[in-house]
Amino acid sequence: MKVAPVWSALAAEPRISQVLVHTGQHYDANMSQVFFSDLGLPTPEVNLEVGSASHARQTADVMVRFERVVLDRKPDLVLVYGDVNSTLACALVCSKLLIRVGHVEAGLRSSDRRMPEEINRIVTDQICDFLFTPSDDAGVNLQQEGIAPARIHFVGNVMIDSLVRLLPIAMQRPRNGYPDRYVLVTLHRPLTVDDPSALTGIMQELITLSRHVNVIFPMHPRTKQRVSGLGIDANRLLILDPQPYIDFLALQRRAVAVVTDSGGIQEETTFLGIPCLTVRDNTERPVTATVGTNILVGQNASTLLFEMDKILNGNQKVGSVPPLWDGHTSERIVEVLRRLH
């Protein structure tokens, strides 16, 4: 979702050639291949096929395999996106080889170093040459960490570019028999799903909620594995396989509310004006809570159910769209890159 609009904008530049590298960190068909077709991306010219492993092993494998690609291709610039292990690994390779790197979605901080993504974000931003930030607070974070303002470029949220382009297509998708009124759920972060106590509590909250409103839960493969090991009867929930981006966007747009631990979904619901309850104590995207529709409810059952009761009774939080979340972020990124020589 982050690569596609930038790829498209750069493709219109006659002086720039691109190579799309897929690290293979996400390899499940519903979490990988389908996104390329939905988003109009070409088949990656290079696939590192690293697969799943521990954080250290996965990061190391990406570094070893990506280094070969960089040495062969000799790029002038590499763009990395988001906060996954691949983001950090590719940035590290380029910094060692003195190749300029741009980080799209830079400066986000949760101040919670238990999250592996937080470590990835901090280190990546320190070694990148161009830091493309999605919100004002991200730039403040970077300057507080001693990063020169000249490296920071406030361009807006590139995720919204994909959403704006594909939302009309999503809204043409049929409802597929889903109920008219439902809450949409996604859970995938390690702090949520790898802790049996935390996951059990959240699942019990969702089952309680399902007595009052339909609950649709497209379940991440790792989450499904963890839930199956808990012995919880989740038959009251409508559990789906991971959904293609456009289908998920349609589900999100039509939902009464969303329950999530995903940063990207906090952003999308804010743009769409959909109430979002985030089952975390913190967020690296605070603008979704200070400006948007997001509310942090932690893993407290009473807080989640209290806030959801307000939403179901029409008393939901009303937010607005943050600055530069306008569908033109990729164009602003390209404008910065045009000035390179």
Alpha-helical runs (H) found in the chain: 3-11, 33-39, 55-73, 85-96, 116-127, 136-144, 158-170, 190-193, 196-209, 221-228, 245-254, 263-272, 287-290, 301-312, 329-338
Short-list 203, 193, 198, CA closest to 225: 193
The H or E element containing residue 100 is strand 100-104
Asked if 216 and 175 touch (Cβ cutoff 8 Å), the reply is: no
Find the angle CA(51)-CA(53)-CA(57) to the nearest 5 degrees. Answer: 105
**Strands across the sheet containing 238-240:** 238-240, 214-218, 182-186, 257-260, 276-278, 294-296
Count of other CB atoms within 10 angstroms of residue 283: 20
For 127-151, letters b (16+ CB in 10 Å) and e give: ebbbbbbbbebbbebbeeeebeeeb
List residues bridging with 118 in a β-sheet. Answer: none
Known catalytic residues are: 188
